[in-house]
Amino acid sequence: MLVLALASGSGVASGSGVATGSAATTAAAHPGTAAASTTTGVTPDADAVATDCTTDGGTRIAQAPPALGRLQSELAWGVTRGAGVVVAVVDSGVDANNPHLAGVLAGGVDLVGDGEGRNGYADLDGHGTAIAGQIAARAIDGSGVLGLAPEARILSVRVFATTEKQARDDGFGPTIPRIAEGIRVAADAGAQIINVSLSTSVDAPELNDAVAYAAGRGSLVVASSGNADNAQSVEEQGSTGVRYPAGSPGALGAGAVDANGAYDANSVAGAHVAITAPGQSILTTATGGIDCVYSDDMAHTSFSTAYVAAAAALVAAAHPGETPAQWAYRLEATAVRPDADRRDDRLGWGVVQPYDALTLAPGGALRGPASPFGGGDGTGGAGGAGSAGGSAGGEDAALALRHTDPAATLATTIAVVGGVIGLAVLGVLGVLAHLRRRRRAEADPESFGV
């Protein structure tokens, strides 16, 4: 295996029919988003994306993403592949030139204003491109890379350039106001699911308000629980405690398990953890148009968050009439956990099982989190955002413990869906509506971990 640095050039193609204006125009419409902050976040996890991309010596990796077998992908795809759902990736941008993402991007916006991320379709860091691929990468010849929701669409909301010191000093690193703004932009653009693979220990009103705003617009925010190895973020190395926006009311906080499905100590534990997903040995898309494996050494919650967001996209596609809280409940109630009645601070309600979430029948006294459907609360109390359900067969504890090692094989081909222009116009109109309402955001002195 060859370890190499990701390409990070600019000048990424913007795609057809999805332009939202230049970075300069966007920055002007968002006063304050590009202002320098005294300190912004830099974390080893973000740097790992730029340096620890592992390939097989070429541009393509033929194997399937190992996590998909643990995520009931084949069973879930028999119900839905996520068509009709837009997932916003609030991150470092998305490299639109990766062939796995052709036809996937539904629009984008740049809130950084550094001149590099036109329409959100550039990624100097690599983080956002990796996340987007986990969620919605489509199959191409010679590659096994595929997203968990491969017919969903991605809205790129670029909120930081890189986590390097120079970018932070210039005001282009991740900040609380810009992340909060990104969540609001995504909600206004009509994204049903909003992925935020970022965390801070600061209980910021801006983040809580943004998550509440998104929920009011029908969007579910899925956010990472944080990584213990983020030595340069605001929290102490290895500390536990609530991270935000994962801990914001209405958000679904995602922790990580390792390649064997066990809790990984790098995943920050706390009351904000609602659910977990695989976060180690992640095969996905990279900048420069290649395939890469990330996080071979340990699990990272950026990647587990992407899989939870993809699972949420599948649920939203299958149950479009339900609320974000009900989507979240389906995921929590059906997750695999040691005790059907309780969540814990390491695993939340357990490891996500998308197929079981899709087929859960609302109503009944399912053990676990409280149900927002109004037909029967579980015994465990509400966790995370909460959502709805009852098992496909009305089972109780057995449902949550049933799929410990699902026998699922990977699909190697998938049709590319159309409708790029319609979704793009929807996204652009939502973004522009938001920009007209936006108040000035002040630079943030705290750190974000990715």
Average pLDDT, the chain: 77
412 or 315: whose pLDDT is higher? 315
Q: For residue 372, give every residue at least 6 positions away whose Cβ sits within 8 Å of its Cβ, in sequence order, or none.
A: 323, 325, 326, 329, 386, 387, 388
Catalytic residue among 45, 47, 52, 91: 91
Catalytic residue among 199, 248, 302, 447: 302
Task: Please state whether 250 falls in left (phi above 0), alpha (psi between -120 and 50) or beta.
Answer: left
Question: Residue 378 — pLDDT band, cuts 50, 70, 90?
Answer: very low
> How large a percentage of the chain has pLDDT more than 90?
64
Lowest mean pLDDT among 52-61, 238-247, 374-383, 392-401: 392-401
Hey, what domains does the chain have and what are their CATH numbers? 41-357+421-437 (3.40.50.200)
Q: Is 73 known to be catalytic?
A: no
Structure tokens at 399: 């449902």
The pLDDT assigned to 53 comes to 82
Distance, CA of 156 to CA of 88 (rounded, Å): 6
What would the mean pLDDT of 269-297 be, rounded to a whole number?
A: 97
Q: Which amino acid is at 26?
A: T
Q: Is 345 known to be catalytic?
A: no
What would the mean pLDDT of 258-278 be, rounded to a whole number?
A: 97
Catalytic residue among 47, 95, 125, 127: 127
Q: Is 302 known to be catalytic?
A: yes
- The pLDDT tens digits for 302-337 are 999 999 999 999 999 999 999 999 999 999 999 999
Cross-strand partners of 284? 292
The pLDDT assigned to 88 comes to 99
Distance, CA of 187 to CA of 342 (rounded, Å): 31
The pLDDT assigned to 51 comes to 45
Question: Residue 146 — pLDDT band, cuts 50, 70, 90?
Answer: very high
Lowest mean pLDDT among 12-16, 133-137, 262-266: 12-16
The pLDDT assigned to 240 comes to 63
The pLDDT assigned to 241 comes to 84
Distance, CA of 130 to CA of 132 (rounded, Å): 6
What would the mean pLDDT of 70-99 be, rounded to a whole number?
A: 98
Structure tokens at 268: 């920050």
What would the mean pLDDT of 185-190 be, rounded to a whole number?
A: 99
What would the mean pLDDT of 222-236 be, rounded to a whole number?
A: 70
